[in-house]
Amino acid sequence: MTAVAVKYPEFRERGVEVLAISVDSIFSHKVWQEEELTRMVERGVPYPMLSDPGGKIGTLYGVYDEDEGVNVRGRFLIDPNGIIQAMEVLTPPVGRNVAEALRQIKAYQYTQTTGEVMPSGWQPGKPTLKPDPKTLKLAGKVWEVWKPDMAF
């Protein structure tokens, strides 16, 4: 959460709203913000932390662990039409990668603007795949533009 807080201006520059949701109460969030998060990031996290008592939202997104009574760590990229474009669910021992989230946001926004397709590991400025304008297919042409070493 604090890594997202540090990069929050980049999310906002891209028109992205960030929300954190957990089963913890708003009072727990307040204490956590004041006692923990503000020690890692000046003023704590700048985006809303929402309470999901009983895991109703977590259940809808498939991240609520009923036995433990918690929402498992997840990240969802939802487009302006409310469609989930990407999701990542991780168990607590492994943290999320904020740079990868931003890369994916840039890729989704670019493809929505251009209709081009982003190959594995795409970064802004790297080659994209352009579907055939008549068939919108990529098959048979990818090898001409993209090589596996470009993913790294």
pLDDT tens string 86-106? 999 998 888 889 999 999 999
pLDDT per residue as tens digits for the range 21-78: 999 999 999 999 999 999 999 999 999 999 999 999 999 999 999 999 999 999 999 9
Alpha-carbon span 35 to 42, nearest angstrom: 12
Question: Which CATH number goes with the domain that contains 28?
Answer: 3.40.30.10
* 46 and 73 together in one domain: yes
Query: Is 91 contained in some domain?
Result: yes
Establish if 108 belongs to a structural domain.
no
Q: Count of domains in the chain?
A: 2
d(CA 60, CA 58): 5
Same domain, 98 and 23: yes
* Residue 14 domain flag: yes
Q: Are residues 9 and 53 in the same domain?
A: yes
- pLDDT category of residue 136 using cuts at 50, 70 and 90: low
Q: Could you tell me if 82 and 33 are in contact, meaning their C-beta atoms sit under 8 angstroms apart?
A: no
Residue-number span of the structural domain to which 40 is assigned: 2-102
